[in-house]
Amino acid sequence: MESLAGAVYLTLGLVVVGGYLLGSIPFGLLSARIAGIDIRTVGSGNIGATNVLRTGRKDLALLALIGDSGKGALAVLLAGLLTHWTPLVMALAAGAAFTGHLFPVWLKFKGGKGVATFFGTMLAIAWPVGLLAGAAWLLTAFLFRMSSLAGLTAVALAPFFALATEQPYPVVVLAAFMAVLVFIRHRENIGRLLKGTEPKIGAKKDAPPAA
């Protein structure tokens, strides 16, 4: 029994620590450096794909989007393979990767805002929820052309989508956990949305200086 408990704790530790370290990889920062740009000096200073898009390089923004979403999905899938697709452990891996993206150890815990990683983890752990949230993002972005508003709408609806599609309880809690953190990380965006000064998708706030 003790050896079994030890194996369980070891697996959980690997899932959580590994998920966090994977989520901490700053793909937005790395992709912008391909063009000699320090993304932290551009626009909002955020390392996410939306801010990379403000450099005018759609290819780099796409790389950041794929990387930030893919690392969340990979954390979930690896946890599933290790634990025979146990929802609780997969949710822990997703939450760890998401937290790593927001608070990466490599960047003094100053990371992204989490929307891309939210989508990656949610599509991997509960694809119906991910698809419904994606549809909410697309509709909001089409109507208002504001990435932050689209992201906030998508994550706010995700827990209700999880309940409506009868997802396991850990998935519902995960969706709510990520939604709360996304709203916290978007507090400045929320202030600009209320003032009507939030930039629209593709708008450049500053010229990108060389790193």
In a domain, 188, yes or no: yes
What's the pLDDT at 37? 93
- Is residue 183's pLDDT more than 90? yes
In a domain, 82, yes or no: yes
What's the pLDDT tens digit per position in 145-172?
A: 999 999 999 999 999 999 999 999 999 9
What's the pLDDT at 102? 97
DSSP, collapsed to helix, strand or coil, labels residue 54 as coil
Average pLDDT over all residues of the chain: 92
Q: How many percent of the chain have pLDDT more than 70?
A: 93
pTM of the model: 0.92
In a domain, 205, yes or no: no
- Token pair 């997703």 is found at 94
Q: Give the count of domains, the chain.
A: 1
Boundaries of domain holding 56: 2-195
What's the pLDDT at 172? 98
In a domain, 173, yes or no: yes
- Token pair 């929320």 is found at 190
Q: Which amino acid is at 50?
A: T
